[in-house]
Amino acid sequence: MELLKNHGGDPFVTDTTMYKGKRYTAMDYYRTAFDHGFLPSYLDCPVIIADGLKDEGVQVNEQVEIAKSIYDSDAMLVVSHATGHSASSFGGAIKNVAMGCVTKSTKKYQHEVTKPIWNPDLCTDCDKCRQICQFDAITEDHELIIENCVGCESCSYVCESGALKSPDDESDKLQKRLAEVAHAVLRNLPYTNCIFVNFLIDITPFCDCAEFTPEYISLDIGVLASNDIVAVDLATIELIGNHKFQGDPTVQVREAHRKGLGVLEYEIVKVRL
């Protein structure tokens, strides 16, 4: 904040609402942010939930709606915690832009490809899936109501019998959607001032939505910054090690490059602030 202000900025900290839980509405999210210490008095700047009280966005194509306050800003510093991810293999700047800068409908569009498949022959009727589903997407007989499902995958995590499983090709499909949406966001913002900062610390196998387990896939490495979203994510993946991720983490990076979002090469220059 101090750096941004010293360079003439008037920053705020932001994110967008999610499906259900502690980030479902802007009011839920303000409470969660403040509980986690993201207090204006500590940050020395406001916190603004970018899709506002009523899921407000600017539709830039058939699928993608950018959260209003992000669209209305003059510049964006994208701060991402690099982690593994159960569905997209890797989460960094591309995923943060694709999920973090859009309204709920565009999040749902991306998660369409992660809806689980139910095998009744393996189901033991334990009911855990129905208890955890927040979207009324599982019947009393444990059948999926596919039109209610948002692909959050909570049910397949708790299903011990293997009756609920993620589709085999979900990782590639989700990564391609992430690149598609990140491209639509960055190409339709009415500004070009974007810098991407990836924190390669506390690198967990799953994203920060997942239940925390004190387990890391890498030692702390440092912080990477670039104005190229493709290069910064590729460097992040390669510094952590491609083999540390489930599946191929580079699908999203290569797809984002193919769409013209950045280059697949980089040089790391060490700086001291």
Q: How far is the CB of 144 from ligand SF4 (least distance, A)?
A: 6
Cβ distance 89 to 236 under 8 Å? no
For Cα atoms 83, 52, 5, give the angle at the middle one, nearest 5 degrees.
70
Q: How far is the CB of 136 from ligand SF4 (least distance, A)?
A: 8
Looking at 33-41, 75-83, 98-106, 138-146, which segment touches ligand SF4 (CB under 6 A)?
Answer: 138-146
How far are the Cα atoms of 22, 46, 84, 121, 178 from residue 93, in angstroms, in the given order? Answer: 23, 22, 13, 40, 10
* Beta-ladder partners of 224: 198
Q: How far is the CB of 241 from ligand SF4 (least distance, A)?
A: 30
**For the packed helices 104-111 and 93-100, what is the interaxial angle rounded to 10 degrees?**
130
CB-nearer residue toward ligand SF4: 92 or 151: 151
154 forms part of the interface with ligand SF4 (CB under 6 A):
yes
Of these, 87, 94, 155, 232, which contacts ligand SF4 (CB under 6 A)? 155
How many beta carbons lie within 10 A of that of residue 22, not counting itself? Answer: 13
228 forms part of the interface with ligand SF4 (CB under 6 A):
no
Binding mask 93-132 vs ligand SF4 (x if CB under 6 A, - otherwise)? Answer: -----------------------x------xxxxxxx--x
Query: Please, where are the H alpha helices in 112-169?
Result: 128-132, 154-158
Q: What is the DSSP letter of 54?
A: T
Interface size with ligand SF4, residues (CB under 6 A): 27
**For the packed helices 93-100 and 229-240, what is the interaxial angle rounded to 10 degrees?**
130
Looking at 42-50, 83-91, 147-155, 210-218, which segment touches ligand SF4 (CB under 6 A)?
Answer: 147-155
CB-nearer residue toward ligand SF4: 66 or 164: 164
Contacting positions for ligand SF4 (CB under 6 A): 116, 123-129, 132-133, 135, 137-138, 142, 144, 149-155, 158-159, 161, 163-164
